[in-house]
Each structure stands twice: as C-alpha cells, then as structure tokens.
C-alpha cells in the first residue's frame, strides 16, 4: 500500500482508496478492500489534526486477507511516516 497526500485549505480531511482492476478483477472484492481500508482510516481519525487530502493506493490483493489489526497498523505507520499524525 502507498500513500499520496497534500495539505488542503479546508478545515477537514478527505480520503480516497484506489484499488485497480489489475489488482483484483471482481468489483465485489475491490469494494471489500475499500471498505476495510476506510474502516481502518476511520479508527485513526482522532489522531489526525492536520487538514490533508490522502489517497491510499492498494498494490496487492493480499490486503483483503490481512488481519484488521495489522491493516490498521499499516495505515498508522504510513500516516506517521508522512508526518500526518
């Protein structure tokens, strides 16, 4: 997973999750990955203070099988590395 971000002039954060058809052909599978990642982001929202626009780009279909605790840790690490938290 990778993260692309930029500061915005709004007073709130915006997030997007991109899962390409190259990663997973099934729309049901891509949407499942999106829902899991959005839920992990929602768990991290209280820690985020800066108004930013973030795009999480999914590079592998194994995100669908990863444990939710590990997924949340991965997102937390990406946000720390980007100095958003």
At 29 the pLDDT is: 96
Say whether 20 sits in a helix, a strand or coil. Answer: coil
Q: What is the mean pLDDT of each run of 10 residues along the chain (85 residues)?
A: 94 94 96 97 92 96 95 96 93
Would you list the DSSP string of 27-63?
HHHHHHHHHHHHHHHHHHGGG--S-EEEEEE---GGG
| Residue in the block written with tokens 């991109």 | 18
CATH number of the domain located at residue range(s) 2-81 in this protein: 3.30.230.10
pTM of the full structure: 0.92
At 11 the pLDDT is: 87
Residue 15 parent element (H or E): strand 14-18
Exposure of 39 in the CB half-sphere (CA atoms within 13 A): 12
């Amino acid at each position: 997973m990778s993260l692309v971000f930029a500061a915005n002039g709004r007073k709130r954060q915006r997030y997007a999750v991109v899962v390409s058809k190259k990663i997973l052909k099934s729309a049901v599978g891509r949407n499942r990955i999106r829902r899991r990642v959005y839920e992990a982001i929602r768990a991290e929202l209280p820690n985020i203070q800066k108004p930013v626009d973030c795009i999480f780009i999914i590079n592998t279909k194994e995100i669908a099988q990863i444990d939710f605790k590990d997924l949340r840790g991965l997102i937390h690490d990406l946000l720390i590395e980007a100095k958003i938290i």
